[in-house]
Amino acid sequence: GEKVEQHESTLSVREGDSAVINCTYTDTASSYFPWYKQEAGKSLHFVIDIRSNVDRKQSQRLIVLLDKKAKRFSLHITATQPEDSAIYFCAAGNYAQGLTFGLGTRVSVFP
């Protein structure tokens, strides 16, 4: 089955700088790559996704990149703000296999 590795377990960034979280996956059949944010004691909140028919997507301060050859995708949080502090999870999958999640990256934004 699919395996998703989330490379950074923690990330500390100065407010205003960019944060980058990298994930790799194993199954070439995966075609859908969402990102979720989880704040302490709360559930997963959808932030952005990318599908395999594109290699870049942007939503406000969030950019996701997908490199299908390398089986790698990344989340870029630009101009970070204190409210960006949370655990971010990447996931990969498709209709047949559902979603497989990474172990999360704890992002801390400091002043």
Partner 1 sequence: NSKVIQTPRYLVKGQGQKAKMRCIPEKGHPVVFWYQQNKNNEFKFLINFQNQEVLQQIDMTEKRFSAECPSNSPCSLEIQSSEAGDSALYLCASSGDWGSQNTLYFGAGTRLSVL
Alpha-carbon distance values, 15 to 21, 44, 105 (Å) = 16, 23, 17
Q: How far apart are CA 76 and CA 62, in angstroms?
A: 6
Query: Environment class of residue 69 by beta-carbon count within 10 Å: exposed (0-12), middle (13-18) or buried (19+)?
Result: exposed
Alpha-carbon distance values, 86 to 39, 40, 42, 54, 71 (Å) = 5, 7, 10, 27, 25
30 vs 74 by CB, closer to partner 1 = 30
Question: Minimal distance in Å, beta carbon 111 to partner 1?
Answer: 27
**Among 43, 60, 69, 111, which residue interacts with partner 1 (rule: CB under 8 A)?**
43
Question: Minimal distance in Å, beta carbon 108 to partner 1?
Answer: 16
Residue 22 interacts with partner 1 (CB under 8 A)?
A: no
**Among 64, 65, 86, 87, which residue interacts with partner 1 (rule: CB under 8 A)?**
87
Residue 46 interacts with partner 1 (CB under 8 A)?
A: yes
| Residues at the contact surface with partner 1, assessed by CB under 8 A | 31-32, 34, 36, 42-46, 49, 51, 87, 89, 94-95, 98-101, 103-104
